[in-house]
Amino acid sequence: MSAWFGLVDACNGVHERFLVALREHARDWPPDVRPQSSGAFLIDGVLTTYVDLCDADESSVVASFRAEFDGSSVYANQVASVGGLGAAGTPEVCAAEAARWYLQQLGRPVERHEWFEGGQRVQVRWRFAGESGWLASSNGYEAARPADRVIALR
């Protein structure tokens, strides 16, 4: 069994077909995206799969991408920095669209922005390169000035 999209719950045949196809596509993903950063769960008959984008140096999850499959269609959350996904069809068609969407999101360049005061780092935030919206923050505070250091993660 693949380590991608581990699922503890029992699922029906349609959900299993989706998972098998999605796991097959995941084998071709970049090596820095690891199966341990993925998972799946079932709620009310909807199979949710996810992939966490991590900053290994900070041991932080920067973003979590989710695709949900209801048996005949797949869709993704639509937040400010993440384009949505919507497709209908067989489990295999939906899995191919979900895999394409995941790969598109995971291939986007990410930056870590750091602020310092008195030689100490006081804030860390992440965003997709070239975008204004923040993905995550280490302390939840809004940046009042440009970052002192920007590090390209990918």
Domain extent for 123: 110-152
The answer on pLDDT for 84 being more than 70 is no
Identify the pLDDT of residue 63: 86
Q: What is the DSSP letter of 44?
A: T
pLDDT, tens digit (0-9, with 9 covering 90-100), for 99-143: 999 988 888 899 999 999 999 999 999 999 988 888 876 665 666
DSSP bridge partners of 120? 117
Q: Note if the pTM is more than 0.75.
A: yes
| Residue 143 belongs to a domain | yes
Residues 6+ apart with CB under 8 A from 3: 35, 36
Identify the pLDDT of residue 81: 46
| Residue 56 belongs to a domain | yes
| Residue 8 belongs to a domain | no
| Residue 31 belongs to a domain | yes
Extract the runs of DSSP E, i.e. beta strands, from 10-109: 38-43, 46-55, 60-69, 73-76, 86-88
Percent of the chain past pLDDT 90, that is, above it, reads 48
| Residue 36 belongs to a domain | yes
Identify the pLDDT of residue 16: 94
* Residue 117: closest CA among 93, 101, 141: 141
> How far is the C-alpha of 30 from the C-alpha of 108, rounded, in Å?
12
Based on the structure, what is the number of domains in the chain? 2
* Residue 153: closest CA among 114, 102, 95, 100: 114
CB of 3 within 8 A of CB of 36?
yes
The answer on pLDDT for 15 being more than 90 is yes
64 and 140 co-located in one domain? no
CB of 147 within 8 A of CB of 115?
yes
DSSP bridge partners of 121? 116
67 and 120 co-located in one domain? no
Identify the pLDDT of residue 82: 52
